[in-house]
Amino acid sequence: MANRAYNFNAGPAALPLEVLEKAQKQFVEFENSGMSLMEMSHRGAIYEKVHYEAEALLRELLGIPTGYKVLFIQGGASTQFAMIPMNLLRSGKTAAFVATGSWATKAIQEAKLFGEVSIAASSEADKYNRIPSIGELKYDSDAAYLHLTSNETIEGTQWSEFPDTGAVALIGDMSSDILCRPIDVSKFGLIYAGAQKNLGPSGVTIVIIREDLIAEPTAPVPTMLRYTTHAKADSLYNTPPTFAIYMMNEVLKWVKENGGAAGMEARNREKAKLIYDTIDGSNGFYRGFAQAESRSLMNVTFRLGNEELEKKFAKESEEQGFVGLKGHRSVGGLRASIYNAVPLESVRALVSFMKDFQSHNA
């Protein structure tokens, strides 16, 4: 489609055009049922096929080992900030966190409402422009869990490798980089991710949880906020976000058709390299925010010489069909979010614009 925007939104984010076009065709009538998927019961065989197919594809593409449950939960990753300590932070235990930026900070603040929290490592002194090294991590051997945010969308930093935490359950917020590359799920006790960046539209959150962590909370927790509730009912205890799960299923099919997690990584590294090379080769006109070894494959954050120039960049880019290049309001600057579904052609167009903008404003 010639009139598609160059979509660099941080979330909700770009979806594969092929998926959108297929959904458009199936929206009014799904599989000769005489109705839309949005109109049918989530207890019926047609929807259940979609539901379980999405789970199976997620297991396949992430290589999820046996002994883990895959849950589809509403409320976004922000609900998981509370749900995790409500279920896993027992009395007398401490939850350890790695403070890497805005989203890790939100998770820390929420956990403090339910129990003791410690900071295993922090990059706050560096304005969160880097990911702490594994060697920097300090936490109790009997901690309830160690929580990290695998990719900080606002600061544009990403973990390149994950720690082995032994008996301490490792928890990963992968909302903004799940399936951008292969990962070893067995290192984690729990992984969670809002769908609206790499998996589909907003409305559903993925929780991958090791079965030994699924237990009734020791303190009173509302029924809908217990992992046991969703695990026992295969995420069908109440009406799930059926359209979001359908769309996620189609996105997962697209990922599989395009080489799986390894194919996504090759695609994402090529896109990221184009932009980072442009930044690094600009003789200081563009300045990357994240330290080189912590740069994200998903969110490229950068600055110009002053805010007025950044505003001009944002305005002129919008006029040329680019969407979402303003940095987050809390930090300013500029940001290109290049999730799985962002086409290489969009990134090439952005690089061309960046070079042209520099030539007229340096």
Is 173 marked active-site?
A: yes
C-alpha to C-alpha distances, 321 to 10, 333, 351, nearest whole angstrom: 16, 19, 14
DSSP state of 194: E
The position carrying tokens 């990753």 is: 77
Strands 94-99, 145-149: parallel, antiparallel or unpaired by DSSP? parallel
Q: What is the DSSP letter of 295?
A: B
Cα torsion for 60, 66, 67, 69, to the nearest 10°? 20
Is 159 part of the annotated catalytic residue set? no
**Is 197 a residue of the active site?**
yes
Burial class from Cβ neighbours inside 10 Å (0-12, 13-18, 19+) for residue 195 reads buried
Q: Closest by alpha carbon to 77, among 180, 150, 132?
A: 150
CA 332/CA 155 separation, integer angstroms: 10
* Angle, CA 44 vertex, CA 39 and CA 50 arms, to 5°: 80
The alpha carbon dihedral of 67, 72, 77, 79 has a sign of: negative
Q: Which of 69, 159, 173, 271 is catalytic?
A: 173
Single-letter amino acid, residue 213:
L
Q: Judge whether 251 and 15 are in contact, CB under 8 Å.
A: yes
**Tokens at 89, concatenated:** 């932070």
Which one from 69, 159, 177, 197 is the annotated catalytic residue? Answer: 197
Contacts (Cβ under 8 Å, ≥6 apart) of 287: 279, 302, 303, 304
CA–CA gap between residue 167 and residue 146 (Å, rounded): 10
Tell me if 255 sits within 8 A of 59, measured CB to CB: no
Neighbours of 107 (CB within 10 A): 26
What is the Rg, in whole angstroms, of the alpha carbon atoms belonging to the chain? 21
Residues classed as catalytic? 103, 173, 197
